[in-house]
Amino acid sequence: MKPSESLKIDAFSMRVSSIDDVELDRLHALSLSVNWPHRAEDWQFLRDVGEGFVVLDEIGRVLGSAMWFRHGAEFATVGMVITSPRLQALGAAQWLMKRVFDKVAGRDLRLNATRAARRLYLSLDFQSEKTVYQCQGIARMQTMAGPADIRGDVRTLDAKDIPAAIALDAAGFGVRRAALIERLFAHSAGYGLFKGDRLNAFALCRPFGRGHVVGPVVAESDADAVAIVRPHVADHSGSFLRIDTHMDNGEFAAFLSHSGMPVFDTVLTMSMGKRLSDFAVGGATTPMTFALASQTLG
C-alpha cells in the first residue's frame, strides 16, 4: 500500500515536499537543530547526487528530512534522516522511512545509524554490520612511516584517472558508483598511489562541515592507505580535518590518531538485504574502503 502524503501527529499535521523545493538555509537550519555539521553547500551537493523529501507542518516549517542515493538498479544508501526526538517518539521517523522504502523498493539498502536512531532501524529489520569511527580534529604532520616506505608513486589525480578510481571504488565498496565518484572528483582534491601505470589506491578530500573531509579512501593495505592520506594531512595541517572509517586498529587507525584525528564519535553501518560481506570479492590484494565518502553516502 502506498504511504500517505500526510500524517496527523500530536496536535498538528505534516505533509511531504520534495527536498529540491526547499531553500538551502532551511535545510541548514534543520541539520543545525540536531547538531549535525552540514553546511548549506553540503546539502546542495547531496541534492545534486541524490533524491529526498522533507516534511513540513501547516505553516511550512521543516520538521524532518530523508534522502536516498541510487547506485544501479539493485542498491541504494539512505541518509539525512532527521526528525526531532519528540517527533521520533510519536512515530514520524517510521513514517519517513516507509516513504523511503516506497522509493527504493527492491533494492539492497545500507545506512549509517546514530545511537539515537538504531532502535528505529532495528525495528524496520535493518541488520547491524560494522562500527564507523568518526575521526576528526586539527590535522598535524607526524613522523610515522615516511615517504621512503611508500611502495609506488604518489601523485595528484585528475580527470583522466576517474575511470580507474571508479573501478577501484567498486571493488572496495562492492557496488559501482560511477556518477558519485565523478561528482566527487569535481569537488575534491585527490591523491593516488600508482605502481607503474596502474592506480592501486586513491584518497579524495573536499570541503565539508567545519573544515574538510577525506573520503573515500580505497587501498589494498594500511601502508598504501596511509601513503595517500598523508598528503591531505600535510595540505590541511593546522586546520580541521575529518575521516570516517571502519578501521579501529592497525597502522591506518594509528596514523589518524597521531595526525590529530582521534575518534570523536561512532555510528553503526546497517543493512537491509545483502550484508557488507556479501559484496566482498575476496583475495589477499582486494581493495578495501578505508574511509567512507561520508556517513550519508557510505
> For the chain, what are the domain ranges?
6-106, 134-291
Contact 121, 111 (CB under 8 A): yes
Question: Quick one: pLDDT at residue 59?
Answer: 82
% helix, strand, coil for the chain, step of 5: 35, 35, 30
CA-to-CA distance for 142 and 138, rounded, in angstroms?
A: 13
Tell me how crowded residue 175 is: count the other CB atoms within 10 A of its CB: 18
* Mean pLDDT of all residues in 276-286: 69
Q: Which residues pair with 267 in a beta bridge?
A: 132
Same fold, 6-106 and 134-291: yes
Question: Would you say the pTM of this structure is higher than 0.85?
Answer: yes
CB 240 within 8 A of CB 136: yes
Whole-number pLDDT of residue 94: 84
The string of pLDDT tens digits covering residues 17-73 is: 999 999 999 999 999 989 999 999 999 999 999 999 998 888 888 889 999 999 999
The whole-chain average pLDDT of the chain stands at: 91
Give the pLDDT band of residue 259 (cuts 50, 70, 90). Answer: very high
Q: Which three cell numbers stand for residue 28?
A: 541548514
Provide the terminal-to-terminal Cα distance of the chain, rounded to the nearest Å. 29
Give the pLDDT confidence of 111-158 residue by residue, as tens digits. Answer: 999 998 999 999 999 999 999 999 999 999 876 545 546 778 999 999
* Residue pair 28/60 in contact by the 8 Å Cβ criterion: no
Q: Please say whether the dihedral angle defined by the alpha carbons of residues 17, 20, 21 and 22, taken in this order, is positive or negative.
A: positive
Which helix (H) or strand (E) segment holds residue 254: the answer is helix 251-258
- What is the arithmetic mean of pLDDT over 227-255? 97
Res 285: pLDDT? 59
The single residue listed with the C-alpha cell 562541515 is 209
Q: What is the pLDDT of residue 86?
A: 64
pLDDT at 95: 85
Amino acid code (one letter) for 235:
D
Q: Which CATH architecture has domain 6-106?
A: 3-Layer(aba) Sandwich (3.40)
Instruction: Report the CATH fold assignment for 134-291.
Output: Aminopeptidase (3.40.630)
Angle at 52 between CA 46 and CA 54, to 5 degrees: 110
Q: Which pLDDT value is given to residue 90? A: 67
Amino acid at 237: S
Q: Which three cell numbers stand for residue 278?
A: 556479501
Residue 47's H or E segment, with its range, is helix 40-49
The 10s digit of each residue's pLDDT in 74-83 is: 999 999 999 8
pLDDT score recorded for residue 96: 86
pLDDT in tens, 81-101: 998 766 666 677 888 899 999
User: How many Cα atoms within 13 Å fall on the side-chain side of residue 228?
Assistant: 34
How far is 216 from 294, CA to CA, in rounded Å?
A: 8
What pLDDT sits at residue 89?
A: 63
Count of C-beta atoms within a 10 Å radius of residue 198: 11
What would the pLDDT profile of 191-213 be if each residue is shown by its tens digit?
999 999 999 999 999 999 999 99
pLDDT at 277: 81
Distance CA 298, CA 296 (A): 6
Nearest one of 273, 284, 296, 223 to 104, comparing CA atoms: 273
Cα–Cα–Cα angle for 108, 271, 54, rounded to 5 degrees: 80
Nearest alpha carbon to residue 136 among 269, 244, 250: 244
